[in-house]
Amino acid sequence: MTNDTPDWIRLHKALAVEAEHGFTDLMGKQYRFSEFLSLTFGKFPTILPAIERRRWQELAGQFVNYPHLVLEERQHLVAETRRYLYQLQKEPGSSTSTTSATLSTSSLSGRGAGEQKRNYQSQVKNPTSPMVAEVSKRLAPKIDQKLSDLPEIGIRKADKLAVLNLYTVRDLLFYYPRDHIDYARQVNIRELQAGETVTIVATVKRCNCFTSPKNQKLSILELILKDNTGQIKISRFSAGARFTSRAWQESLKRRYPVGSILAACGLVKGSKYGLTLDNPELEVLANPGDAIESLTIGRVVPIYALTEGVMASMVRQAVTTVLPAAVHLKDPLPKGLREKYGLMELKDAIANIHFPDDSATLQVARRRLVFDEFFYLQLGLLQRQQQARQIQTSAILAPKGQLIEKFYEILPFQLTNAQQRVLNDILNDLQKSAPMNRLVQGDVGSGKTVVAVIAILAAIQSGYQAALMAPTEVLAEQHYRKLVSWFNLLHLPVELLTGSTKAAKRREIHSQLETGELPLLVGTHALIQDTVNFQQLGLVVIDEQHRFGVKQRALLQQKGEQPHVLTMTATPIPRTLALTIHGDMNVSQIDELPPGRQKIQTTMLTGQQRTQAYDLIRREVAQGRQVYVVLPLVEESEKLDLRSAVEEHQKLQESIFPDFQVGLLHGRMSSADKDETITKFRDRETQILVSTTVVEVGVDVPNATVMLIENAERFGLSQLHQLRGRVGRGAAQSYCLLMSSTRSPDAQQRLKVLEQSQDGFFISEMDMRFRGPGEVLGTRQSGVPDFTLASLVEDEEILLLARQAAEKVIEIDVTLERWTLMKAELKYRYERLMGGAILT
Predicted local distance difference test score (pLDDT) of residue 122: 41
The b-or-e profile of 306-324 (16+ CB within 10 A means b, else e) is: eeeebeeebbbbbbbbbbb
Contact 535, 516 (CB under 8 A): yes
Among 46-60, 92-106, 590-604, which stretch is predicted with the lowest mean pLDDT? Answer: 92-106
Rounded mean pLDDT of 218-238?
Answer: 90
State yes or no: pLDDT of 284 exceeds 90: no
275 φ, ψ to 5°? -70, 145
Q: How confident is the model at residue 536 (pLDDT cuts 50, 70, 90)?
A: very high
Rounded mean pLDDT of 791-800?
Answer: 84
Give the β-pairing of 626-630 and 688-691: parallel
Predicted local distance difference test score (pLDDT) of residue 423: 94
Amino acid letter, 525: H
Among 152-156, 298-302, 524-528, 814-818, which stretch is predicted with the lowest mean pLDDT? Answer: 298-302
Rounded mean pLDDT of 754-758?
Answer: 87
Contact 566, 438 (CB under 8 A): yes
Contact 468, 524 (CB under 8 A): no
SS3 787: coil
Packing angle between helix 71-89 and helix 246-255, nearest 10 degrees?
70
pLDDT digits (tens, 9 = 90+) for 599-619: 899 999 988 899 999 999 999
State yes or no: pLDDT of 121 exceeds 90: no
pLDDT digits (tens, 9 = 90+) for 668-691: 788 788 888 888 998 999 999 998
Give CA separation, 256 vs 129, 203, 225, 675, in Å: 39, 10, 11, 77
Predicted local distance difference test score (pLDDT) of residue 475: 85
94 φ, ψ to 5°? -80, 160
Rounded Cα gap, residues 803 and 462, in angstroms: 36
Rounded Cα gap, residues 604 and 751, in angstroms: 7
Amino acid letter, 490: L
Spell out the residues 6+ positions from residue 359 whose beta carbon is closer than 8 angstroms to its own: 180, 182, 184, 300
Name the residue with higher pLDDT: 829 or 409: 409
| H or E segment to which residue 521 belongs | strand 520-523
Amino acid letter, 811: E
Contact 75, 23 (CB under 8 A): yes
Rounded mean pLDDT of 724-744?
Answer: 87
Among 104-118, 131-145, 191-205, 266-280, which stretch is predicted with the lowest mean pLDDT? Answer: 104-118
Rounded Cα gap, residues 665 and 630, in angstroms: 10
SS3 177: coil
Rounded mean pLDDT of 455-472?
Answer: 92
Identify how many contiguous H helices and E strands the chain contains and give both numbers: 30, 20
Among 138-142, 526-530, 612-616, which stretch is predicted with the lowest mean pLDDT? Answer: 138-142
- Dihedral (C-alpha) 371, 376, 378, 380: value to the nearest 10 degrees? 180
Predicted local distance difference test score (pLDDT) of residue 331: 94
Predicted local distance difference test score (pLDDT) of residue 317: 86
Predicted local distance difference test score (pLDDT) of residue 496: 94
Rounded mean pLDDT of 210-227?
Answer: 90
As a whole number, the mean pLDDT across the chain is 81
Residue 360 DSSP class: H
Cα distance between the two ends of the chain: 56
Give CA separation, 640 vs 7, 636, 637, 714, in Å: 68, 8, 5, 11
State yes or no: pLDDT of 512 exceeds 90: yes
| % of the chain beyond a pLDDT of 70 | 83
Name the residue with higher pLDDT: 762 or 292: 762
Name the residue with higher pLDDT: 451 or 442: 451
Give the number of other CB atoms < 10 A from CB of residue 289: 8
Rounded Cα gap, residues 349 and 344, in angstroms: 6
Predicted local distance difference test score (pLDDT) of residue 775: 55
Rounded Cα gap, residues 432 and 423, in angstroms: 15
| H or E segment to which residue 522 belongs | strand 520-523
Contact 455, 407 (CB under 8 A): no
Predicted local distance difference test score (pLDDT) of residue 101: 26
State yes or no: pLDDT of 639 exceeds 50: no
Amino acid letter, 647: E
Q: How confident is the model at residue 661 (pLDDT cuts 50, 70, 90)?
A: very high
Predicted local distance difference test score (pLDDT) of residue 126: 42
Rounded Cα gap, residues 60 and 39, in angstroms: 7
CA 696 to chain centre: 27
Rounded Cα gap, residues 779 and 492, in angstroms: 36
223 φ, ψ to 5°? -130, 135
Q: Give the bridge partners for 283, in sequence order.
A: 263
Name the residue with higher pLDDT: 652 or 101: 652
SS3 195: coil
pLDDT digits (tens, 9 = 90+) for 305-336: 878 778 877 888 889 888 888 888 999 999 99
CA atoms in the 13 A half-sphere facing the CB of 783? 25
| H or E segment to which residue 809 belongs | helix 796-812
Rounded Cα gap, residues 618 and 624, in angstroms: 10
Residue 304 DSSP class: -
Q: How confident is the model at residue 293 (pLDDT cuts 50, 70, 90)?
A: low
Q: Do domains 402-431+447-569 and 601-757 have the same CATH topology?
A: yes
Predicted local distance difference test score (pLDDT) of residue 702: 87
Rounded mean pLDDT of 180-206?
Answer: 85
Predicted local distance difference test score (pLDDT) of residue 826: 92
Predicted local distance difference test score (pLDDT) of residue 810: 92
Residue 836 DSSP class: T
Rounded Cα gap, residues 202 and 225, in angstroms: 6
State yes or no: pLDDT of 80 exceeds 60: yes
Task: Of 80, 72, 62, 58, give the one whose Cα is nearest residue 23.
Answer: 72
Amino acid letter, 62: Q
Pick 402-431+447-569's CATH classification: 3.40.50.300, 3.30.1330.10, 1.10.3720.10, 3.50.50.60: 3.40.50.300
CATH architecture of 179-303: Beta Barrel (2.40)
Rounded mean pLDDT of 631-635?
Answer: 69
CA 439 to chain centre: 24
Task: Of 123, 119, 125, 120, give the one whose Cα is nearest residue 349.
Answer: 125
CA 482 to chain centre: 40
Q: Give the bridge partners for 469, in sequence order.
A: 523, 542
DSSP string for residues in 415-461? PPHHHHHHHHHHHHHHTSSSPPEEEEEE-TTS-HHHHHHHHHHHHHH
Rounded mean pLDDT of 150-179?
Answer: 90
49 φ, ψ to 5°? -65, 155
Predicted local distance difference test score (pLDDT) of residue 197: 83
- Superfamily designation of domain 601-757: P-loop containing nucleotide triphosphate hydrolases (3.40.50.300)
pLDDT digits (tens, 9 = 90+) for 475-506: 888 899 889 999 999 999 999 999 888 999 99
Contact 160, 309 (CB under 8 A): yes
Could you state, in order of their start, the residue ranges of all structural domains in the chain? 8-125, 179-303, 329-390+796-839, 402-431+447-569, 601-757
pTM tops 0.85: no
State yes or no: pLDDT of 109 exceeds 60: no
pLDDT digits (tens, 9 = 90+) for 403-446: 999 999 998 888 989 999 999 999 999 988 888 888 898 877 78
Give the number of other CB atoms < 10 A from CB of residue 51: 7
Among 92-101, 539-548, 693-702, 745-754, which stretch is predicted with the lowest mean pLDDT? Answer: 92-101
CA 170 to chain centre: 21
Q: What angle do CA 287, 290, 293 make, to 5 degrees?
A: 130
Name the residue with higher pLDDT: 107 or 679: 679
pLDDT digits (tens, 9 = 90+) for 338-389: 999 999 999 999 999 998 888 889 999 999 999 999 999 889 888 888 877 7
Predicted local distance difference test score (pLDDT) of residue 294: 62
Predicted local distance difference test score (pLDDT) of residue 263: 83
Predicted local distance difference test score (pLDDT) of residue 274: 86
Rounded mean pLDDT of 194-207?
Answer: 88
Contact 161, 153 (CB under 8 A): yes
Long-range contacts of 823-826 (CB under 8 A, 24+ apart): 824/332, 825/332, 825/376, 826/376, 826/379, 826/380, 826/383
Name the residue with higher pLDDT: 66 or 47: 66
Spell out the residues 6+ positions from residue 766 whose beta carbon is closer than 8 angstroms to its own: 717, 750, 753
Give CA separation, 341 vs 125, 334, 800, in Å: 22, 11, 11
Rounded Cα gap, residues 651 and 156, in angstroms: 63
Q: Give the bridge partners for 232, in sequence order.
A: 225
Spell out the residues 6+ positions from residue 96 whose beta carbon is closer than 8 angstroms to its own: 8, 9, 89
DSSP string for residues in 60-115? HHHHHSGGGS-HHHHHHHHHHHHHHHHHHHTSTT-----TT-SS-SSTTT-HHHHH
- Dihedral (C-alpha) 440, 477, 776, 642: value to the nearest 10 degrees? 160
Rounded Cα gap, residues 785 and 837, in angstroms: 8
